[in-house]
Amino acid sequence: MANTDVQITLEQAVAEVLTLLTGVDLTFNPAEDTFHVVARCLNRAMRSVALEHEWSYYSATENVGTAQVGVQDVEISSRLRPRIIGDDAVRLQTSEGKVVRWAYILPRDALHKYGDRSLRCSITRSTITFSRPFVNGEQGLSIMVPVMREPRMFLIPASGQEPTRQVLDQLIDFDYPDLVMARAAYIYAQADPVLQPRVPALEEQYKDIMYQLVERDERHTDTPYMNDFFVPIEGSINGSTVPQFHHFHPHSDERYR
């Protein structure tokens, strides 16, 4: 859902893009080809923006089924794109929404280290593999997976067809529409021989906005938890190699309890 404080409709966005390109407040008939071309550029811009940075704005949590005792692998729909960044985790929760287990997402080749430890998981394509089978206390819990949804595209009528007010009032599916409109102007200018000299300036303008948004998001987001690594210090003056800790390899995602 668009940010209501800065929301922009399709009709307004097309006018903004044309102003960025020409510096003139132009008005085009929505039934004409130029309007449809700019609208398609806005759709391409939204798809591109979703790939530039893993925007938390497009994140969601999907219920992919319930935990069954003895099950270790869970298949999810191929339409879902799991969110495997930062410190994300698969959650096992009750029907009331209370989280009972957090299964932090690890690289596939690190999962074997946790067979007898707390629950972890790895995701390969459409398969979630947990570090151990589900136990009795986890039977029936909902498996909630963090996923990234795709941005909602503008519905564009056929060329020459007059769009309805419902079509013109569609909102840009991004919390800061200026980024999408700047990207759309950059895309449009690349295909127009008259506007091509402005492409570098439009690209710089788009990237300036993007970097500012990335900085804003990172400044107000906690960094993933990282604990101190164990350092294997020799236990005696003779150079004993006996480890002085209970574990032979450190883990950066251990939580102190």
Find the mean pLDDT for residues 24-30.
74
> What was the pLDDT predicted at 257?
42
Q: What residue spans define the domains of the chain?
A: 59-148
Residues in Cβ contact with 120 at an 8 Å cutoff, skipping those fewer than 6 apart? 103, 104, 105, 106, 111, 114, 130, 131
Q: Which two tokens stand for residue 11?
A: 């009709």
Using a CB cutoff of 8 Å and minimum separation of 24, what contacts does 35-38 make? 36/156, 36/157, 36/159, 37/188, 38/14, 38/184, 38/188
Let me know: does 132 contact 119? Beta carbons within 8 Å.
yes
Whether the pLDDT of residue 252 is over 70: the answer is no
pLDDT band at 239 (very low <50, low <70, confident <90, very high): low
Distance CA 20, CA 14 (A): 10
pLDDT tens-digit readout, 42-82: 999 999 998 888 787 888 899 999 999 999 999 988 888 88
The second-level CATH assignment, the architecture, of 59-148 is Beta Barrel (2.40)
> Does residue 92 or residue 239 have the better pLDDT?
92
Q: What percent of the chain has pLDDT over 70?
A: 82
Alpha helices by DSSP H, 79-139: none
Is pLDDT larger for residue 116 or for residue 211? Answer: 211
Please compute the mean of the pLDDT values over residues 38-45 and round it to a whole number.
Answer: 94
Find the farthest-apart pair of alpha carbons in the chain and give their distance in angstroms, rounded: 87
- CA gap 25, 23 in Å, rounded: 7
pLDDT digits (tens, 9 = 90+) for 191-235: 888 899 999 999 999 999 999 998 887 776 556 555 554 455 555
Q: Would you say residue 165 has pLDDT above 80?
A: yes
- Residue in 43, 15, 29, 36 with CA at minimum distance from that of residue 158: 36
Which of 16-25, 83-92, 111-120 bottoms out in mean pLDDT, i.e. has the lowest? 111-120
Tokens 């021989």 sit at which residue? 193
Average pLDDT, whole number, for the chain?
82
> Cα dist. 130→87, 101, 183 in Å?
16, 12, 40
From CA 122, how far away is CA 113, in angstroms rounded?
12
**Pairing relation of β-strands 99-105 and 120-124?**
parallel
